[in-house]
Structure 1
Amino acid sequence: MKKIINEELIYEILSVVEEIPRGKVATYGQIARLIGRDKNARLVGKVLSRAEFYGKYPCHRVVNYAGRLAPGWKEQRFLLLDEGVFFKNENHVDMKKSQWDC
């Protein structure tokens, strides 16, 4: 049976995002695993794309599995640089140096 996005799930995802330390990043898949939904990385991305409606969360600290920044969100790079996150190139975080070890 398919699970539905509800307020409880949204806040579960956002509470994990809130725990990502300054200067570190997590992946969508990593967050999905932490909430017990291993195969729902896209669901995490969908929730984070609407996070502004639920308060202020450090969603800029979430990247894809390869460290790629969210397409079309130019501010994300500057927010991460400001926190001391390491980059491999213009659009990819250095995951070896900056991934949250949770």
Structure 2
Amino acid sequence: MREGYVYIMANRKNGTLYIGVTNDLARRVEEHRSGQIEGFTKKHGCTRLVWYAHFDDLHEARLVELQMKKWKRAWKVRAIEELNKDWDDLWWQLSR
């Protein structure tokens, strides 16, 4: 069984949000931050990791990601602010 992460990237506080899933959060966030990934996050400048959750099972993480993508924006903002009130970039937690 592979572990997984659901994460939210933003371009600024209360800005554009992107929800993703990965089995290697540090690598994936670095790809977003450096612009290696074409698409939504690069187009909208979503380089700030503002929320993430770890799962022991990547399949479970994928299911949670799909659910969260259906959430109203207010629910996503609430999840972020419960963990990260100031929308700080949590990248430093991964780059130890």
Q: Which has the larger radius of gyration?
A: 1
TM-based fold match above 0.5:
no
Question: Which structure is higher in RCO with an 8 Å CA cutoff and minimum separation 6?
Answer: 2
TM-score normalized with structure 2 length = 0.31
Larger strand percent: 2
TM-score normalized with structure 1 length = 0.29
